[in-house]
Amino acid sequence: MKFEQPRLPYAIDALQPAISARTIDFHYGKHEKTYIDTLNTLIEGTPFADMSLEEIIAKSDGKLFNNAAQAWNHIFYFFQFSPNGLKAPSGKLAEKIDATFGSFDDFKRIFEEKGATLFGSGWVWLSADKDGELHITQGANASNPMTDGLRPILVFDVWEHAYYLDYQNRRAEYLHNLWQVVDWDIVSMRYE
């Protein structure tokens, strides 16, 4: 299977000022695209060509794992944003966030802190385990919590390429501003 880069469900400048059009142009247009192009090159003519992206992530390592996971992670990242989305979780996820972290504000503070303190490149994730319990985890480089049996709900990209054009070294400010564009309708549905 050849993987196609999905088109963004919003305009390139729709997430400003939290994420600039220039950052989307590089991050989605070049970084994400390159991971998907490289993935397609690596799987061509191999048994991986008939697998889903999730299967490839589960069964590969090294360069193939890195590009498959980065493709998945970036698609998941860009599809959780919207300029006019719901600004707070709803339904079961809202209840579970309050029960687990105290309040939505406490959750956001802890999530930002986990992103800010991750050393080097990686991702900060909110995931659910098989019992529906929520976990915030830091993942280095291309890692994805699916390989630990968790179901991803929300992710912030903390590679420098995600924020350097807009925020330079101010990673914490980037993480804080991302809440402006997270669409909790989409994120809450991922938990249902």
Please state the closest distance from residue 80 (CB atom) to Mn ion, in A. Answer: 13
Tokens of 106: 């406490």
Shorter beta-carbon distance to Mn ion: residue 141 or 147: 141
Among the candidate windows 85-93, 149-157, 166-174, 182-190, which touches Mn ion by CB under 5 A? 149-157
Please state the closest distance from residue 136 (CB atom) to Mn ion, in A. Answer: 19
- Using CB under 5 A as the binding rule, the residues of this chain from 76 to 135 that contact Mn ion are none
Which of 72, 159, 163, 191 is in the footprint of Mn ion by CB under 5 A? 159
Please state the closest distance from residue 78 (CB atom) to Mn ion, in A. Answer: 9
- The CB-nearest residue to Mn ion is 157
One DSSP character per residue, 133-158 reads -EEEEEEETT--GGGGT-EEEEEEE-
**Long-range CB contacts (< 8 A, 24+ apart) of 41-50?**
42/67, 43/1, 49/1, 50/1
Which of 157, 158, 175, 181 is in the footprint of Mn ion by CB under 5 A? 157
Please state the closest distance from residue 161 (CB atom) to Mn ion, in A. Answer: 5
Shorter beta-carbon distance to Mn ion: residue 74 or 108: 74
What is the residue whose two structure tokens read 């880069």?
Answer: 5
One DSSP character per residue, 54-105 reads HHHHHH--HHHHHHHHHHHHHHHHHTTB-TT--SS--HHHHHHHHHHHSSHH
What is the spatial distance between Cα 58 and Cα 178, in angstroms, rounded to a whole number? Answer: 29
| 20 bridge partner residues | none
- Using CB under 5 A as the binding rule, the residues of this chain from 160 to 189 that contact Mn ion are 162
- Total residues contacting Mn ion by CB under 5 A comes to 3
Shorter beta-carbon distance to Mn ion: residue 10 or 156: 156
Q: Are 127 and 151 in contact (CB under 8 A)?
A: yes
Binding site for Mn ion (CB under 5 A): 157, 159, 162
